[in-house]
Amino acid sequence: MKNIILVRSAARALFGSGGPNYSRHFSTAAIVKHVEPRYQHGGSFYWRKMSSLPQTKDQDSEEDKKKEELNNNKNNNNAVISSYWGITRPKIQREDGTEWPWNCFMPWDSYPADVSIDVTKHHVPKSFADKFAFRSVKFLRVLSDLYFKERYGCHAMMLETIAGVPGMVGGMLLHLKSLRKFQHTGGWIKALLEEAENERMHLMTMVELVKPNWHERLLVITAQGVFFNAFFVFYLLSPKTAHRFVGYLEEEAVISYTQHLNAIESGKVENVPAPAIAIDYWRLPKDATLKDVITVIRADEAHHRDVNHFASDIHHQGKELKEAPAPIGYH
């Protein structure tokens, strides 16, 4: 008896309250044929049609059918790729009413950079860990200067492919720690991932200005393979030194971008119009130039410098990052 009830419940769950009779009205093929195109309109329409009997369809007026067809065509023309799952990006506009052209970031990810930040600040290395981090960055700087010399654009592009790694590694490891220890992290996961994303947007901007050749691409792939793994182990062993290392890396980024700005001002580098992606991301004026772009990127680097030195200082005081509020939302 118990088994019969179970079988009936399963049948109801599979076929609905009509049970096996449902197949007499609607075959599976018919459901797909009638419902699938309409499903792209949204869930409510889908459910309305699923709960209607076939006879209801016959009562639809010709006018309704025509309207529906028109809507279908409109939707199909707007969609780049039609989605069976009904996921489409809502229409987003700029403040001036023009269509938002980017999928890689949204208007709420854009921000006006705080260029009032002190770009001359330097953390004097005191502990052994600080000196190790400082010397390591200076050594890497010598290597990159030897390779890039005065090719500022290429240098910046290479720097950004590396600079986007530490935030992602740090954020990922804090995320795993949070899962492992059932702990909050005081917003530091978000802060570090925001930094990684911001660095990636620097790179997306630089590649609009500099087209890397094959050996530069090869260098980027090799450097990423080595640096990601090395920094992952480094952060596991000593987050205190890893954050200090990134703080010094950002100090070098500020110096590099200052040299880049000097080269623009002296005419060594042409002050070309800013790429469209940069104008939208930093909310720059429409007539912004490369100089404006490098100025806002340099300000971002100065923020990363301060955040990472701050993170290292927290560890130096024998505390965990979660004990200090994370600096979120400065970009």
Binding mask 85-124 for Fe ion (x = CB under 5 A): ----------------------------------------
**CA dist list (Å): 54 to 30, 50, 62:** 10, 10, 16
Question: What is the secondary structure of 97-145 as a DSSP string?
Answer: SPBP--SSS-GGG-----TTS-SS--PPP-SHHHHHHHHHHHHHHHHHH
Shortest separation between residue 160's beta carbon and Fe ion, angstroms: 5
Q: Pick the closer one to Fe ion by CB: 178 or 259.
A: 259
Cβ burial, residue 178 (10 Å; 0-12/13-18/19+): middle
Shortest separation between residue 147's beta carbon and Fe ion, angstroms: 18
Judged by CB under 5 A, does residue 298 bind Fe ion? no
Judged by CB under 5 A, does residue 133 bind Fe ion? no
Judged by CB under 5 A, does residue 199 bind Fe ion? yes
Shortest separation between residue 297's beta carbon and Fe ion, angstroms: 6
Contact region with Fe ion (CB under 5 A), list: 44-52, 80-88, 175-183, 193-201: 193-201
> Whose CA is closest to 243, among 198, 307, 189, 299?
307
Q: Which of 123, 155, 200, 202 binds Fe ion (CB under 5 A)?
A: 202
Judged by CB under 5 A, does residue 304 bind Fe ion? yes
Helix axes 214-237, 239-265, angle to 10 degrees: 150
> Whose CA is closest to 153, among 302, 290, 287, 248?
290
Judged by CB under 5 A, does residue 194 bind Fe ion? no
Contact region with Fe ion (CB under 5 A), list: 156-164, 181-189, 207-215, 220-228: 156-164
Cα–Cα dist 97/101, whole Å:
12
Q: Pick the closer one to Fe ion by CB: 244 or 304.
A: 304
Shortest separation between residue 202's beta carbon and Fe ion, angstroms: 4
Binding mask 57-86 for Fe ion (x = CB under 5 A): ------------------------------
Residues 221-260 that bind Fe ion (CB under 5 A): 250
Contact region with Fe ion (CB under 5 A), list: 145-153, 213-221, 277-285, 298-306: 298-306
Cα–Cα dist 255/248, whole Å:
11
Cβ burial, residue 116 (10 Å; 0-12/13-18/19+): exposed
Shortest separation between residue 119's beta carbon and Fe ion, angstroms: 12
Cα–Cα dist 122/124, whole Å:
6
Judged by CB under 5 A, does residue 163 bind Fe ion? yes
Judged by CB under 5 A, does residue 301 bind Fe ion? yes
Helix axes 290-316, 239-265, angle to 10 degrees: 160
Interacting residues with Fe ion (CB under 5 A): 160, 163, 199, 202, 250, 301, 304
